[in-house]
């Protein structure tokens, strides 16, 4: 966790090198940060104001996904094949319980991290007054391993096979733009092309529990010796945008933007399974197409009319929208393979989901007094969907705000907003569009459940903030904000959620060179969910109010920080700072349920309260800088940081989970998790400039 968020240099390092030379009215700059480290940044540019600029850059960003020991039984072959020795697969097919033994004795270390390297070049040229031409080219590579998992057996519970997913992503971005300014107006246009290439068009992952393909009638074990998994497809994207604006009399302005784009991600449609026993079955389904012709068109517009026609009046009228038009064909599959084990002849359709959003609004602001301003606004947004439970919804938003001040002493701000999203008829059976010949009762959904992203919603939010200047360098500031969402027509699913935070700050002037700053913050979020356990009895999903349950998930964050900063008043020969930061985070869920008197004699569906997730971070830091000469500074610094986490969802996450959870004896994990830590860092920096 420490290396994921902190930048700790090597023992001997050059943190910054900056050179600037001016010749022939042109500035040449070289900038290097963290030279020779795995997060280095290099920049070189040349610039002649009013005529041209050009720059070259390269940077590297590592991303650590685990700081614990991660191990695997797999070796990567050819970039898209993950292999386990045949002898091991043979032994585990006969004795699956030995998986934990092999994980202890035959696994090897694997790094779960990625590295992104980017090379970029930009150039601008102004051949005429007011005209600027721009070019940009960028190449990004991403390499490494990320964790990925697949279920291997259902007879003993949903056991997991987790493996390192090898990443080999290349992205190329190129753009060209032109801007022309004349008098009070301007116009610009740009075009972008993005190409994404994945080194693997699919993954073949050995099943640790099988060496031979076979079909089965239950989920006791996935019956393919090799898993066939999809990967992100190659894609090509291009877009074009145009912008224009003009300044009008009386402080008014009109601006507009229009953009359109197209994404093409054609890929081969991979087979249902590698299971040779399934392919020999006469009911093995055929693919509806040899390729997936995925296409998406996007359109975006944004227009605004703003102005201050009077000293006491300002306004903004706007219209904006976005459309995600999914042009991918509908593919109807005559069947599918369940867990590489069973053949289903149930027809399914893959649907191209799309949506659009259009909104218009106006904001007006009045300065009633020299120190009092009042504002109000109204906005209406319409969202349309394809193949969803709601075809369209309309949301009305009303905003109010107020600013008041007493010069030299007090500033206050307050704002409030109320919105009401009304959805058209909610079709709880919209999912049947993907079942052209009907759906088995065992796969039916709870028709009372509503999806929160399209359901009707009432939202209210407000915020207040202020600052008081107490004089003599003393000051007090505070802010509080709150938002609540009520899904008024939803009895099941997400029914309401809320968020609020407060922040208080105090500034104290100790003496001429020294200030003290202290802050205290609190943030609280909560979500309430209602659901129903629906057991399958004799092939029928049973709905009973007695099997209802609910859960309230909360997250409380508390932060405290404070420190002393001192600096020389009449020069820049020294400065000093000492700072303390503290943060705690507690996530809880409070579950409740009814008596479960129907179809659940063993109370299997009781909602349970999980142990809370708690995190705590402490950091103490300080540094002192003083000038050794006209051109040289020395900085001495140190910090101590401690992180403690109690998270039952990952504290026991080790490769051999069978020892912690007996039902996981057929599972193999990488062991990805974050460790608690304490760290001390001391640094000495010499800064020379001339």
In this predicted model, what pLDDT tens digit does every residue of 27-65 receive, in sequence order?
Answer: 999 999 888 888 899 999 999 988 999 999 999 999 988
Cβ atoms of 173 and 138 closer than 8 Å: yes
- Strand 75-77's sheet: what is its strand order? 75-77, 81-83, 202-206, 226-230
| pLDDT (0 to 100) of residue 113 | 92
How many CB atoms sit inside 10 A of residue 425's CB? 7
Q: Give the 3-state secondary structure percentages of the chain, helix then strand then coil, rounded to 5.
A: 5, 60, 30
* 101-115, 367-381, 406-420, 524-538: least confidently modelled range: 524-538
Residue 31 forms beta bridges with which residues? 18, 43
- Which residue in the block uniquely carries the two structure tokens 């009070």? 184
| pLDDT (0 to 100) of residue 408 | 87
Nearest C-alpha neighbor of 235 from the set 201, 268, 264:
264
Cβ atoms of 541 and 444 closer than 8 Å: yes
| pLDDT (0 to 100) of residue 105 | 92
Residues 51 and 49: their CA atoms lie apart, in Å, by: 6
Q: 618 or 607, which is more confident?
A: 618
3-state secondary structure 445-473: CCCCECCCCCCCEEEEEEEEEEEEEEECC
How many CB atoms sit inside 10 A of residue 613's CB? 18
| pLDDT (0 to 100) of residue 599 | 47
Residue 255 forms beta bridges with which residues? 245, 304
| pLDDT (0 to 100) of residue 4 | 58
Cβ atoms of 553 and 521 closer than 8 Å: no
| pLDDT (0 to 100) of residue 194 | 98
Dihedral Cα 679, 680, 684, 689, nearest 10 deg? 40
* 429-443, 499-513, 604-618: least confidently modelled range: 604-618
Nearest C-alpha neighbor of 563 from the set 579, 552, 585, 541:
579
Residues 434 and 387: their CA atoms lie apart, in Å, by: 9
Banded model confidence at residue 237, pLDDT cuts 50, 70, 90? very high
For the chain, state the CA radius of gyration.
Answer: 31
| pLDDT (0 to 100) of residue 16 | 82
Residues 343 and 434: their CA atoms lie apart, in Å, by: 18
The gap from C-alpha 22 to its chain's centroid, in whole angstroms, comes to 42
SS3 label, residue 434? helix
SS3 label, residue 101? helix
Within a domain: residue 94? no
Q: What are phi and psi of 278, to 5 degrees?
A: -70, -40
Cβ atoms of 165 and 92 closer than 8 Å: no
- DSSP secondary structure letter of residue 328: P
How many CB atoms sit inside 10 A of residue 632's CB? 12
Residues 303 and 414: their CA atoms lie apart, in Å, by: 27
Within a domain: residue 577? yes
| pLDDT (0 to 100) of residue 598 | 44
Residues 250 and 184: their CA atoms lie apart, in Å, by: 13
Mean pLDDT score across all residues of the chain = 90
What burial class does residue 11 get, using C-beta atoms within 10 Å of its C-beta: 0-12 exposed, 13-18 middle, 19+ buried? exposed
* 167-171, 390-394, 625-629: least confidently modelled range: 625-629
Question: From residue 549, how far is each of 531, 546, 596 by CA, in Å?
Answer: 5, 9, 9
Q: 15 or 379, which is more confident?
A: 379
Within a domain: residue 484? no
Beta strand pairing call for 81-83 and 202-206: parallel
Percent of the residues in the chain that have a pLDDT greater than 70, as a whole number: 94
Range of the domain at 8: 1-47
Any residues with CB less than 8 A from the CB of 215 and at least 6 apart, and which?
223, 275, 277, 278, 281, 341, 342, 343
- DSSP secondary structure letter of residue 610: P
Question: From residue 138, how far is each of 122, 155, 193, 228, 444 by CA, in Å?
Answer: 9, 50, 11, 33, 48
| pLDDT (0 to 100) of residue 233 | 96
Per-residue pLDDT at 93 exceeds 50: yes
Nearest C-alpha neighbor of 365 from the set 314, 401, 300, 302:
314
Banded model confidence at residue 158, pLDDT cuts 50, 70, 90? low
| pLDDT (0 to 100) of residue 603 | 53
How many CB atoms sit inside 10 A of residue 86's CB? 11
559-574 average pLDDT score: 92
Any residues with CB less than 8 A from the CB of 530 and at least 6 apart, and which?
491, 492, 493, 495, 548, 549, 550
Cβ atoms of 102 and 93 closer than 8 Å: no
How many helical (H) and strand (E) elements, i.e. helices and strands, does the chain have?
Answer: 4, 37
Question: From residue 661, how far is each of 292, 415, 439, 657 by CA, in Å?
Answer: 41, 51, 36, 6
Nearest C-alpha neighbor of 166 from the set 234, 232, 117, 227:
232
SS3 label, residue 438? coil
Q: Enter the pTM of the model.
A: 0.90
Within a domain: residue 587? yes
Cβ atoms of 644 and 615 closer than 8 Å: yes
Any residues with CB less than 8 A from the CB of 128 and at least 6 apart, and which?
none
Query: Which token pair is 356?
Result: 């659009």
* DSSP H/E element including 88: helix 86-94
The number of distinct structural domains making up the chain is: 2
Torsional sign, CA 594, 599, 600, 606: negative
* 65-74, 146-155, 398-407, 610-619: least confidently modelled range: 146-155
Question: From residue 64, how far is each of 70, 111, 114, 147 by CA, in Å?
Answer: 12, 9, 7, 12
Per-residue pLDDT at 601 exceeds 90: no
The DSSP-derived string for 205-250 is EE-TT-SS----SSSSS---SEEEEE-PPPEEEEEEEEEEEEEETT
Within a domain: residue 565? yes
Question: From residue 187, how far is each of 136, 238, 594 by CA, in Å?
Answer: 19, 21, 64
| pLDDT (0 to 100) of residue 284 | 94
Q: 156 or 564, which is more confident?
A: 564
Residues 27 and 319: their CA atoms lie apart, in Å, by: 42
Per-residue pLDDT at 577 exceeds 70: yes
- DSSP secondary structure letter of residue 286: P
| pLDDT (0 to 100) of residue 8 | 61
- DSSP secondary structure letter of residue 668: B
The DSSP-derived string for 166-187 is EEEEEEEEEEEEEEEEETTEEE
Within a domain: residue 636? yes
Residue 556 forms beta bridges with which residues? 524, 586
Per-residue pLDDT at 596 exceeds 60: no
User: Residues 276-321: pLDDT tens digits?
Assistant: 999 999 999 999 999 999 999 999 999 999 999 999 999 999 999 9
Any residues with CB less than 8 A from the CB of 95 and at least 6 apart, and which?
none
Per-residue pLDDT at 9 exceeds 80: no
- Which residue in the block uniquely carries the two structure tokens 């009013």? 50
Residues 243 and 252: their CA atoms lie apart, in Å, by: 17
For 306, half-sphere exposure in the C-beta direction (CA atoms, 13 angstrom radius) is: 9
Residues 478 and 500: their CA atoms lie apart, in Å, by: 14
Within a domain: residue 532? yes
257-277 average pLDDT score: 95
* 401-415, 525-539, 560-574: least confidently modelled range: 525-539
Within a domain: residue 534? yes
How many CB atoms sit inside 10 A of residue 530's CB? 17
Cβ atoms of 395 and 422 closer than 8 Å: yes
């Amino acid at each position: 966790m420490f290396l994921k968020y902190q930048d700790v240099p090597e023992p001997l390092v050059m943190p910054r090198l900056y050179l600037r030379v001016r010749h022939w009215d042109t500035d040449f700059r070289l900038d290097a940060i963290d030279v020779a480290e795995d997060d280095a940044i290099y920049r070189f540019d040349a610039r002649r104001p009013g005529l041209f600029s050009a720059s070259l850059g390269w940077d590297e960003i590592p991303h650590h996904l685990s700081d614990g020991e991660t191990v695997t039984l797999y070796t990567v072959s050819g970039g898209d094949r993950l292999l386990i020795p045949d002898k091991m697969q043979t032994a585990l097919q006969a004795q699956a319980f030995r998986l934990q033994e092999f994980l202890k004795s035959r696994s090897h270390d694997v790094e779960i991290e990625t590295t992104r390297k980017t090379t970029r070049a930009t150039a601008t040229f102004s051949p005429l007054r007011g005209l600027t031409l721009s070019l940009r080219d960028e190449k990004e590579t991403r390499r490494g391993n990320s964790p990925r998992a697949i279920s291997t057996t259902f007879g003993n519970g949903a056991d997991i096979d987790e493996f390192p997913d090898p990443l080999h992503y290349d992205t190329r971005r190129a753009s060209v733009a032109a801007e022309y300014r004349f008098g009070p107006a301007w116009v610009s246009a740009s075009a972008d092309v993005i190409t994404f290439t994945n080194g693997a068009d699919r993954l073949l992952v050995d099943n640790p529990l099988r060496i031979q393909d076979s079909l089965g009638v239950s989920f006791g074990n996935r019956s393919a010796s090799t898993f066939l998994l999809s990967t992100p497809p190659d894609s090509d994207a291009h877009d074009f945008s145009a912008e224009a604006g003009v300044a009008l009399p009386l402080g008014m302005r009109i601006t507009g933007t229009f953009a359109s784009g197209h994404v093409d991600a054609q890929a081969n449609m991979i087979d249902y399974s590698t299971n040779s026993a399934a392919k020999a079955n006469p009911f093995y389904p055929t693919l509806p197409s040899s390729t997936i012709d995925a296409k998406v068109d996007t359109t975006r517009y944004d227009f605004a009319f703003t102005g201050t026609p009077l000293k006491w009046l300002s306004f903004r009228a706007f219209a904006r929208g976005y459309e995600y038009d999914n042009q991918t064909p509908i593919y109807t599959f005559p069947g599918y393979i369940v867990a590489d084990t069973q053949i289903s002849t149930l027809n399914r359709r893959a649907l191209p989901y799309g949506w659009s959003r259009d909104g218009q609004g106006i904001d007006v602001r009045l300065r009633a007094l020299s120190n009092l301003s009042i504002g109000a606004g109204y906005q209406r947004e319409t969202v349309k969907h394809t193949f969803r439970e709601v075809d369209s919804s309309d949301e009305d938003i009303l905003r109010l705000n107020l600013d008041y001040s007493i010069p030299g002493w007090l500033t206050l701000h307050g704002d409030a907003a109320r919105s009401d999203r009304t959805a058209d008829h909610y079709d709880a059976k919209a999912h049947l569009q993907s079942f052209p010949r009907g759906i088995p009762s065992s796969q039916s959904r709870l028709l009372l459940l509503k999806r929160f992203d399209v359901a009707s919603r009432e939202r209210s939010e407000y915020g207040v903030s202020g600052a008081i200047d107490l004089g003599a360098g003393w000051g007090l500031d505070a802010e509080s904000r709150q938002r609540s969402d009520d899904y008024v027509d939803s009895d099941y699913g997400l029914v309401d959620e809320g968020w609020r935070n407060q922040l208080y700050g105090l500034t104290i002037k100790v003496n001429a060179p020294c200030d003290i700053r202290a802050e205290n913050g609190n943030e609280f979020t909560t979500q309430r969910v209602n659901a129903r356990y629906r057991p399958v009895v004799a092939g029928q999903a049973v709905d009973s109010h007695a099997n209802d349950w609910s859960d309230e998930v909360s997250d409380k964050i508390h932060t405290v920080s404070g420190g002393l900063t001192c600096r020389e008043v009449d020069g820049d020969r020294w400065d000093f700072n000492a700072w303390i930061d503290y943060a705690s985070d507690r996530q809880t869920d409070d579950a409740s349920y009814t008596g479960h008197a129907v179809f659940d004699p063993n109370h299997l569906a009781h909602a349970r309260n999980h142990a809370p997730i708690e995190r705590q971070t402490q950091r103490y830091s300080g540094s002192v800088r003083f000038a050794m000469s006209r051109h040289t500074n020395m900085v001495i610094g140190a910090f101590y940081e401690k992180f403690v986490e109690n998270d039952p969802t990952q504290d026991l996450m080790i490769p051999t989970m069978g020892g912690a959870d007996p039902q996981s004896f057929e599972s193999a994990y990488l062991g990805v998790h974050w460790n608690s830590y304490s760290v001390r860092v001391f640094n000495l920096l010499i800064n020379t400039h001339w």
